[in-house]
Structure 1
Amino acid sequence: MEVLAGRFRGSLLDRSTQRWVRLTGRQVDLQREEWLAGPCGDHDRIGESWLLREAARLGGSVLDSDRALGLLPTMTVLDGPAFDSSALRRQVRDFYEQTERWQLELQSQWSAWAWPFGWLISALFARRLDQLSLPLRAKDVADGMTSQLTSVVDRNGRLIGSSWRRRLRATGATTYSGWYQAVALPGTRQPSVRVVFPLPNGRLVVFLRPEVSTVGGLTLISPAGGWGDDGAYLVVERGSGSPVWARRIPVRESFHVYVDAQDVLRTDHVLGLWSVPALRLQYRLSAIDG
């Protein structure tokens, strides 16, 4: 009975969130605004079947886990008027092109005002959906994080996109289960990193603008902006034939991937609402083969 009550509360929360998007967002045609298309999770849990559905939609096939490629086929897919991948350090390029070779250790730090918000997301959504389970306590990250990459390729073996699932070793909770591609937004020749997080009856779509930082580092930014700019979008797609709704949301992210003075690859990830930082994740990345 308690499980059924929890599912009912979860379903009610999901419907409320989806209704908010429909009331405050805009109706979109995914044939014309394909940049918002992508995988949806299962009805009451994200699960793993979304990857097979997305591969079928794109006419691709899923590689066995031991044949996984990188998050991106090559960093040159991000080259454009504002980005030159040849300026990146070798380790930075290698992480994105051979992601499975790297293991992740991390530390997390919440802003005092944002910790209750993080707890609320975890209690109401993340634990139930097995998605976006952000670490709340130091012990959650003490044992590091697992990284599972799955690649989808076309009939010629070219990478279409990659699924990257990260779990906290201490709790087994999924922090991120997302779909990664390089995509140029309409009206621009500069590709961005597009990350899609499947949700029930929809998805969170985040576009990250690439920049080369000092000494060959990579900065990815999801900034403030208008419709069609880099940033975060919540999409509600209830099924074939139903209207699709989307709205831009005030989630801001930045990633700085760099090699420190000790030749260690690191990432600083800052997540915020509007311009106020909420959570900082610091990763230490180590090549598995040394």
Structure 2
Amino acid sequence: MDRGTRRFWKTVGRPVDLAGAHAWLRAPISAVAKGTVADTWLAAEVERSGGRVTRDAEAGLLPDIDALAGPGFDPARLHPDVRDFYQRTARWRMEAWVQWTPVFVPGGWLITRYFGRRVGQLALPIRPLDTARGIDSRVETLLDGAGAHLGAAWLRTSRATGEYIYSGFYRTAVLPGSTQPSVHVCFPLPLGTIQVFLRPEPGENGALRLVSPPGPFGADGAYVTVVEGERAWAARLPLHEEFVVYPDGAQLVRTDHTLALGRATVLRLHYLLLPRD
């Protein structure tokens, strides 16, 4: 099944040069064709980059959210709690609720059952009670040999089962032809990735909107890559996301996450973020 999936994306995608013109798509992968992804890719990325991983109780997805400043976004408008969540993510705990559009439930179940739980990646919760006991998360920061920040691994597991739900790599990126930095999220897969470039926008009352809208290849949006040795292929996915991260009282942050396939809403996730005691 995995070989067939990779063959499909090689067929519908385009050859890309990850060391040259398409370096913006270069990201951590799971270098083995079979087996569990979970957090195994992180050690491989440490070896490839010659860097090291640090574990800090106050590590953030972004060391400084001001790195997203650009012509379309002013981080100074963000509420302090929203800023704190991104810069000190590890000190926040998470509760989550999910609501699927009924027609997409069978497809979501198949992906989670036969892929997500098997490889420990993108194991989307299907029923609201799947996350009733909450989600555990940890943040590990990847530094290069000189100590410069390369990105942050945000590893989220089910508190009830301990199984991996998401294992992502977060950093900022500026896409070709753009002057506005985006949030770049990579989900390593066996011999490939799913990547999302999210454009930051200001929301009401200090909120942050992150969107991956429709657009051409090379613009903000979702991509899948397949990597085999020195060769790679990539395709743009018709998946679009919106995150609205907003304050709700003292030291209380909420997030509304919408995932769409084309124009059809697939699911909505709601997160409650609270500082750890």
TM-score (norm 1): 0.91
- Give the superposed CA RMSD: 1.5
Partner of 2:245: 257
CA contact (8 A) 2:256 2:271 kept: yes
Distance in 1 of aligned mates of 2:155 and 2:3: 25
The separation in 2 between residues aligned to 1:128 and 1:182, in whole angstroms, is: 29
- 1:52 equivalent in structure 2: 43
Shift of 1:284: 0.5
Report the CA distance between 1:68 and its aligned residue: 6.0
Shift, 1:56, TM fit: 3.2
Structure-1 separation of matches of 2:102 and 2:52? 44
Deviations 1:104-162 (A, max 9, x none): 01111111111111101012211111111111112211101001111012344332100
Q: Assess, with a 3 A threshold, how the Cα gap between structure 1 residues 175 and 49 changes in structure 2: closer, same or farther.
A: closer
CA contact 2:39–2:155 (8 Å) conserved in 1:
no
Match of 1:5 in 2: none
Q: Which runs of 5+ in 1 are unaligned?
A: 1-12
Q: What is the alpha-carbon distance in structure 2 between the residues aligned to residue 68 and residue 128 of structure 1?
A: 31
Partner of 1:31 in structure 2?
19
Q: Per-residue deviation at 1:24?
A: 0.8
- Aligned partners of 2:56 and 2:182: how far apart in 1? 27
Contact 1:204 1:234 in 2 (8 A): yes
Percent of aligned positions with the same letter in both sequences? 45
CA shift, 1:50, in A, is 1.2
Distance 1:161 1:59 in 2: 14
Unaligned runs of 5+ in 2: none
CA distance in 2, matches of 1:287, 1:67: 12
1:228/1:124 Cα in 2 relative to 1: closer, same or farther (>3 Å)? Answer: same
Mean Cα deviation higher: 17-26 or 258-267: 258-267
Residues 13-45 of structure 1: per-residue CA shift (max 9 Å, x gap): 111111111111100011121111111113222
Equivalent-residue separation in structure 2 for 1:263 and 1:61 (angstroms): 32
In the other structure, the counterpart of 1:78 is 68
Q: Match for 1:73: what amino acid?
A: P
The question of whether the paired residues in 1 share the 8 Å contact of 2:133 and 2:160 is answered with yes
Partner of 2:53: 62
Give the secondary structure class of the aligned counterpart of 1:117.
Answer: helix
Distance, in Å, in 2 between the alignment partners of 1:151 and 1:20 is 33
User: Deviation per CA, 1:139-193, whole angstroms, max 9, x where unpaired?
Assistant: 2111010011110123443321000011111232222101001000011111100
